[in-house]
Homo-oligomer: A and B are copies of this chain.
Amino acid sequence: MSITINDVAQLASVSKATVSAVLNNRPGISRSTRQRVLEICARLNYRPSRVARSLSVRETRSIGLVIKEIDNPFFSKVMKGVFDACTSRGYTVLLGSSELSPANEQRSISTLIQQRVDGLIVSPLQGEGVDFTYLYDLRRENYPLVTLGAIAHIPTNVVDIDNVEAAYTAVMHLAERHHRIACFNGPASSAHTQDRFEGYRRALEEKGLPLHHEDVVPAGSYVENGYDAGKALFSAPGPHPTAVFCYNDLVAFGLINALDELGLRTPDDVAVCGFDGVAHCDLARVPLTTVQVPAYEIGRTAALLLIRQIGDKESFLNERILLEARLVPRQSTYS
């Protein structure tokens, strides 16, 4: 099938060992032999098999990235951060995605481990029905692992922002002008959902505002979810909230759309705050106030941390890196 090291060795009339030495720039090869071998490699267009090498040296120079949603601009940026850091250091990225399903997450991780990736970056799901004993096992085996967000009871290397704090800040911002603030939560299976809700709760508490049960709605993470939740909440009878803190920007966009259709104006009738700071928040019909999360840096940092840990398995077993998120007020909360 394809050219192997044996073909090269034979044509150069040297042993495989010599070819291997040449290709790995090991010393102790004569100038002439090196030249001849390289020439033949070029002529044959020889590409050493990484799978054979991986088997032998027990490292694949690849890492697995398991995100939650491929089709989410936030994760696109994370991916890019991971990708850039990895490729510049000779690592290949194998892609996994849970698409919010715990079963998929587990399957992805399992597959990647069978592929013998040198380490994993996981944006973990959490909540009901999420079994992370397998992540726990990885930890115990000292498998290089970085999670984007902490996992309850499992110490890992974490790269994230302080979601509670960021949500708190955002809601405090809304509370400057509003006294009834709703919360559109994200997927129940995401730890971020819980943290952001906690920030919301604290802000209300601090301001002495009541937490209306019916104002806390499980929305989701996509535009449609925000739209549906918005339609439901604001077409219900009775007085409505005058501001909504959304799990992410997409939900916020959907909400604004729903409000518009209901004849409610943003921000005059209802102020809306998003989260993530995906590109184009500033291009939206109503420029969106949001919490700018450094997604690219999260990805990049996670990759660097992971690679460091791959290199020295004993170090940084339990690092927790929190990057800065900042509130970017725009028109959707100011009239």
Chain A residues in contact with chain B, CB under 8 A? 1-2, 45, 47-52, 54-55, 58, 60, 62, 70-73, 76-77, 79-80, 83, 87, 92-95, 97, 107-108, 110-116, 137, 141, 223, 253, 256-257, 279-280, 282-287
Contact = CB atoms under 8 A, between A and B. Distances in A.
Given A51-B54, A51-B55, A62-B115, A92 B94 contact: yes
A332 to B, nearest CB: 12
Contact of A115 (B51, B279, B282, B284): B51
B70 A83 contact: yes
Contacts of A60: 51
A107 B95 CA distance: 18
Given A80-B70, A137-B45, A285-B285, A223 B280 contact: yes
A210 to B, nearest CB: 32
A177 B108 CA distance: 52
Contacts of A45: 137
B55 A283 contact: no
A73 B76 contact: yes
Given A76-B70, A284-B283, A285-B283, A51 B93 contact: no
Given A51-B115, A70-B76, A93-B95, 18 more contacts: A47-B113, A49-B114, A50-B115, A51-B55, A51-B60, A70-B83, A71-B77, A71-B80, A71-B279, A83-B95, A92-B112, A93-B94, A95-B95, A256-B283, A257-B282, A283-B284, A284-B284, A284-B285
A112 B92 CA distance: 8
16 contacts: A48-B114, A50-B116, A62-B94, A70-B79, A71-B80, A72-B76, A83-B95, A92-B94, A92-B95, A95-B95, A223-B279, A223-B283, A253-B283, A256-B283, A285-B285, A285-B286
A66 to B, nearest CB: 12
Contacts of A284: 280, 283-285
Contacts of A223: 279-280, 283
